[in-house]
Amino acid sequence: MFECFRGGAGEVLPRADYLADFGRVHQSGIRLLAKIERGQTFKEQGSPSWDAFASGDWAGALRLIEDERDSTAAYFQDAARRGLAFRRVRVVEFPVSPYLQWEMHVLRLRSELGEEIRVLDARRIADLERDAPVPEVIVLGRSVMYAVIYDDELKGAGARRFTDPDQVNRTTREFEALYAMGEGFPEFFEREIAPLAPPTTDR
């Protein structure tokens, strides 16, 4: 699976170019935004909630997530009007990392407001990852997809862009196969995340 992402293929876009291209395609009338997330820790640029989490202010991080409810709801309401479905596969390793514990609270809000999220235990795809982890992929519609690039500090640094229709179609089918393997987000959150104590972080 995901063979087209091996070996550094794709057109490399710096972060600013990637964000501009993503925004253009996102607004072009696509019907599906599909995302695979595999990494267990990242640095989220521009997120006040992540900044609070990283500084050790767990209560503040959760409050700031909730502060995004109205704007997040508006995004998904607009997406629904345009016929855009947002589907995500979140691969999880155990024990859950502090970052992932934080992100799961972000995803809970998005799940409540319209994003279709399924959680996939990394142990279930061990055979698929014997050579390499599944990639961090975003598929937009039928014509464009990106493999997200991170720098040494685990900050988003851009993406590799793919536009071959056969590759996009094949990746979409592979995404759907992983999505079908996953567990519904609410069930996972209540069982695995809700009981956890606040995470500890290196300040």
CATH of domain 3-11+31-193: 3.30.870
Strands 144-150 and 137-140: antiparallel
Burial degree of 100 (CB within 10 A; 0-12, 13-18, 19+) = buried
Instruction: Say if residues 196 and 102 touch (Cβ distance below 8 Å).
Output: no
Euclidean distance between CA atoms 18 and 199, whole angstroms: 32
Report the amino acid identity of residue 60: G
Q: Domain limits of the chain?
A: 3-11+31-193
Euclidean distance between CA atoms 137 and 133, whole angstroms: 12
For residue 125, give both structure tokens: 């795809």
Instruction: Say if residues 89 and 35 touch (Cβ distance below 8 Å).
Output: yes
Q: What is the pLDDT along the chain (203 residues), one digit of tens a residue?
A: 888 988 778 999 999 999 999 999 999 999 999 999 999 999 998 899 999 999 999 999 999 999 999 999 999 999 999 999 999 999 999 999 999 999 999 999 999 999 999 999 999 999 999 988 999 999 999 989 999 998 888 888 899 999 999 999 999 999 999 999 999 999 999 999 999 999 987 64
Report the amino acid identity of residue 181: M
